[in-house]
Chain A
Amino acid sequence: MNHEHRLRFKTLVMVLLMVVCANTGDLMLARGMKQIGHVQVSVPGLQHALWMTIQNASIWIGICFLIGFTLCYMTAVSWADYSFVMPAGAFGYAIQTMLAIIVFHETVSAKHWIGVLLICFGVLMVGQTKPNTTNVAVLPS
């Protein structure tokens, strides 16, 4: 396997890991919060919810997956172009919606799907622009 093929292969593996970690992380957070139930917006309600989230295993598993996602993402962009890694993030919105239907049995209408696809397309366009356009020297401290 030559250098380019090896680079492409390891980037694809890393992108796959990113997708798995991000989606599993969000699903575990959602699962944990569904177990905790409706959070009340009041000081005692928020304190109670915070205490429940600290004790919830699904939330901690979700956080671990999201840390895994961040590490995979940082590793992938350290050797691959952002524009190559970015589409995985854009399509995450569609994958997550699909997973919500499968895992949480949520109903999603055709209009909702059009909205999700517009978001994916928009995020993809935003990600395909220049990564750096500023002059750091002009920033005030």
Chain B
Amino acid sequence: MSSRVILMLVFFVLCNTGGEIAMSYGMKRVGEPEALRPMALLRFVWAAAKNRWLWLAIPMLAASFYSLLILFSWAKVSVVIPASASNFIVGTVAAKYLLKEDVSPKRWLGVLCVLAGVILVLKTGGH
């Protein structure tokens, strides 16, 4: 697998995970809508629009989508889609250290399986 593809994959994963974490962080601060009524939903959207974390999330998620498109133009679908599961690795590490979430041993084991799988896919994907 070429280093260019791996670099773009890293960029994709960092933007995607960063965007999702910023979105999750922002939405936890905004909270749930009070009710499913138009005025309550409008207040919810207004509160979300004022949250700086969401404004950080949107360009990061847009960049991750665009980098995924670039990856599709460079590498095989059977490599890009499984390798995109690297999100789970970076996402779990970030959830543990940035969002202070409690990560169970079972989840770490899952992350290790994903890591082994991604390495295998990237090693065999070029041929």
* Least distance between A41 CB and chain B CB atoms (Å): 8
Q: Which residues of A contact B4 (CB under 8 A)?
A: 41
User: Nearest-CB distance from B98 to chain A (Å)?
Assistant: 11
Among B76, B92, B127, contact of A104 (Cβ-Cβ < 8 Å):
B76
Q: Which residues of B contact A49 (CB under 8 A)?
A: 69-70, 73
Interface 0/1 of B85-126, CB less than 8 Å to A: 100100010000001111110110111111111111101110
Within 8 Å CB of B92, what residues of A?
126
* Best-surrounded residue of B25, B31, B73 (most CB of chain A within 10 A): B73
Cβ contact within 8 Å between A101 and B78: yes
CA distance A37 to B70 in the complex (A): 9
> Within 8 Å of chain A (Cβ to Cβ): is B29?
yes
Check B121 against A122 for contact (C-beta < 8 Å): no
Cβ-defined contact, A119 with B25, below 8 A = no
Q: Is the CB of A118 within 8 A of B73?
A: no
Whether B106 and A26, one on each chain, are in contact in the complex, defined by CB atoms closer than 8 angstroms, is no
B73 contacts which of A38, A101, A125 (Cβ < 8 Å)? Answer: A38
Q: Least Cβ distance of B116 to chain A in Å?
A: 5
B69 and chain A: residue at smallest CB distance: A33
Tell me whether A114 is interfacial, beta carbon within 8 Å. Answer: yes
**Across the interface, which residues of A come within 8 angstroms of B6, CB to CB?**
none
Q: Is the CB of B120 within 8 A of A125?
A: no
Contacts of A35-85 to chain B: CB distance below 8 A = 36-39, 41, 49-50, 53, 59
B68 interface residue per 8 A CB criterion: yes
Q: How far is the CA of A42 from the CA of B124 in the complex (A)?
A: 28
- Min CB distance A40 to B, Å, is 10
Nearest CB in chain A: distance from B54 CB, A: 12
Chain A neighbourhood of B39, CB < 8 A? none
Is B33 interfacial (CB-CB < 8 Å)? no
Residue positions of A touching B, CB distance < 8 A: 26-27, 29-30, 32-34, 36-39, 41, 49-50, 53, 59, 92-93, 96-97, 99-101, 104, 106, 108-109, 111-112, 114-130, 133-134, 136, 138-139, 141
Additional pairs, 4, CB under 8 Å, beyond known A122-B112, A122-B114, A136-B31 = A53-B69, A59-B69, A96-B82, A136-B29
